[in-house]
Amino acid sequence: MKKFIYWLPRVLSILFILFLALFALDVFGEYGFPEILIALFMHLIPNFLLIIALVIAWKWEVVGGVIFLVLGLFSIMFFKTYKDIIVFLLVSSPSLIIGVLFLLNKRYCNKKDKIPS
């Protein structure tokens, strides 16, 4: 069970980052070549933030969990996902759930358990 609690937030965060990266693919049909690079970078900014949060959370679960919670709350306010339940469930809630799972991982798994091996 400790392995499951350890790996669940990590796997979910990778899947969530890949899911959000799919939304950046729409720039290829709308822009010419020079603008594609700028538009792709702009669309991938949330992914970069989530990747940074994942790297931090992999080492320090509490700090990473709080960062995921803050990013989830920020996405609720910035993207106004509270207006549509489907958008909230797809965009904001995974980050909140992942943050809570990282905090639960820290609470229920000790560092001396050597879970990753």
List pLDDT tens digits, range 72-110: 999 999 999 999 999 999 999 999 999 999 999 988 876
Q: Is the dihedral of CA 9, 113, 110, 63 positive or negative?
A: negative
Dump pLDDT digits (tens) for 6-19.
Answer: 999 999 999 999 99
Q: Which pair of tokens denotes residue 50?
A: 């989530």
Q: Domain limits at 31?
A: 2-113
| 3 neighbors 115 (Cβ within 8 angstroms) | yes
Q: What is the Cα–Cα distance from 79 to 5, expressed in whole angstroms?
A: 30
Torsion of CA 5, 102, 62, 41, to 10 degrees: 140
What is the value of pTM for the model shown?
A: 0.87
Number of structural domains, the chain?
1
